[in-house]
Amino acid sequence: MLKKLGLLALCGVSAFAMHSAELNVNDKDLEVGVKVDMGQFNDAAEPDTIFLGARFLHGSEENSDASNSYNLDDFYEVNFLMQKKIESTDLVIGLGVKLNGTKDYSTFPLGVEASYKLPVGDTMPLFLNGSIYYAPEVLSMQDAEDFLEYRVGLNLEVIKNGSVVLGYRSIDTNYKDNKGGDFNYNKSPYLGFKFAF
């Protein structure tokens, strides 16, 4: 699986001018994400305003509410985000939509994201990030009933275009009653790296 992800990332870098790549881990989970800045390919779009991305999460039962009898499948996501920097501030706000799920669960959650550059120094900028995405039953397919995800984190830019990430995620996947019920797919802190190209 890791070989396939590595080859996919390598192909993505060569085919696109990838805006960012992120790797998040803890002792049980592996998460890989990429985002492409569509402004690099379209002169009508401003850079850093429109993003198309993908994410993969190999979650563990230890960081989930799933029962031991439930086979926890890998979680996939394709996402779209439009964002804007608020004038005269260090705040960036965005609106997004995702298509995500596992082999028997998929949803189209809508959400908001925000990033704020904390006023703690310019040599190593520190950003506070947060996001929340929700899909009610009408935006849920297959065995899904609804979906809620939120994330909070800090990004410390230790080198130009290279950050250390410390975050927390909660991914709540609610299934239809006859398909497994409600459980939190993943709730865990993580540490990672984020690189911008």
pLDDT for 93-143, tens place per residue?
Answer: 999 999 999 988 999 999 999 999 999 877 899 999 999 999 999 999 998
Q: What is residue 23's three-state secondary structure? A: strand
Is the per-residue pLDDT at 165 higher than 80? yes
From the number of C-beta atoms within 10 Å of its C-beta (0-12, 13-18, 19+), residue 16 rates as middle
Q: Please give the Cα distance from 21 to 63 (Å, whole number).
A: 24
Q: What pLDDT does 34 receive?
A: 95
Query: What CATH number should be reported for the domain holding residue 63?
Result: 2.40.128
Q: What pLDDT does 180 receive?
A: 62
Contacts of 173 (CB under 8 A, 6+ apart): 102, 105, 144, 147, 182, 183, 184, 185
With a pLDDT cut of 90, the percent of the chain lying above it is 62
Number of domains in the chain: 1
For the chain, what is the total number of helices (H) and then of strands (E)?
1, 12
Q: Please give the Cα distance from 98 to 107 (Å, whole number).
A: 8
Q: pLDDT: is 163 or 18 the higher one?
A: 163
- Pick from 46-60, 79-93, 169-183: least confident: 169-183
pLDDT band of residue 54 (cuts 50, 70, 90) is very high
Q: What pLDDT does 16 receive?
A: 42
Taking the model in full, what pTM does it have? 0.86
Average pLDDT over residues 74-90: 95
Residue type at position 189: P
Residue 160: both structure tokens together: 């130009």
Count of positions (residues) in the chain: 197
Q: Which domain holds residue 173?
A: 2-196
Residue 16: both structure tokens together: 């696109």
Residues 117/125, Cβ–Cβ less than 8 Å = yes
Q: What's the mean pLDDT when you consider all of the chain?
A: 86
Q: What pLDDT does 141 receive?
A: 93
Is the per-residue pLDDT at 22 higher than 60? yes
Q: How many CB atoms lie within 10 A of CB 126?
A: 15
